[in-house]
Structure 1
Amino acid sequence: MAARRGRGAAARRRKAARRRSAAAAIVATAVLLTALRPEVRPYLLAAALLAAAGAGGWWLWRKDRLTREQDRRWRQADRISAGRRTLAEVDAMTGTEFEELVAQLCRRDGCTEVRRVGGSHDNGADVVGRLPDGRSMVIQCKRYTPSSTIASREMRDT
């Protein structure tokens, strides 16, 4: 915790130093504008405006880069959290929720045209779609309670 405070304090000191140097540059420019001959003032003013525009552009570029990085990290964390479920959460799902989870996992893994069919008269198909290589896929979801075992014929016949 102490190291964290130290880094924040150092960042604040660096930021304050940058502000002081920017203020000094502005004061120096104002002094030069008033002290120099009138013929030089427009060129000095143009140089100061170009420097300000460059600094503003750099600040915008940096802000955009930091925002994009934060967004990338957030999206990555969101993708990871969306795909992770505990077994207790899966066990607590209804049949429809479980089929939706299976469909989401298929989409995450690159399948296209994935949709949950489910319901009566579906001929056993709960999720249909296309594999990443273009082949069709049909998934029949089976969700059993944690205490029950799955018979070998269920695995073999479905």
Structure 2
Amino acid sequence: MPLEQTINDAIKAAMLARNEVDLRSLRAIKAAILVAKTAEGANGDISEAEESKLLQKLAKQRKDSLDIFRQQNREDLAAKEEEELLVIERYLPKQMEEAEIRTVLTGIIAQVGAAGPGDMGKVMGVATKQLAGKADGKVISALVKELLAK
């Protein structure tokens, strides 16, 4: 079932259950899907990969806002962002474990022939494409730095 249909069904369920947190979060996802579908150059439909990217973008926005609100001691706003993040993460594909990412990155480093920290760009280019939707960019970057420093 396409993400949009899943979200619409979840919105109906949240309305019936009077669950404000889910409703607010699901409406944000639906709005982002509609924006993506009506964006210039879009053909009115988005692929599964684009849906995944969209959800990751929404999750990253929530995480960034959460960090900022916590730094500014705004726990009321941080709590809202955290609630929305939890709902968005329900629809994200399962993220890879650090050990799995490390194994994939070791293979990529061997594949591109990276020898040191100067080759990080080569490795990151391949790694971000290969691990898109499966791992967070910050985690990939930190592991690549660690592996190339050895």
- TM-score scaled by length of structure 1: 0.21
Q: RCO (CA 8 Å, sep 6+): is it higher in 1 or 2? A: 2
In terms of Rg, which structure is larger?
1
Higher strand share: 1
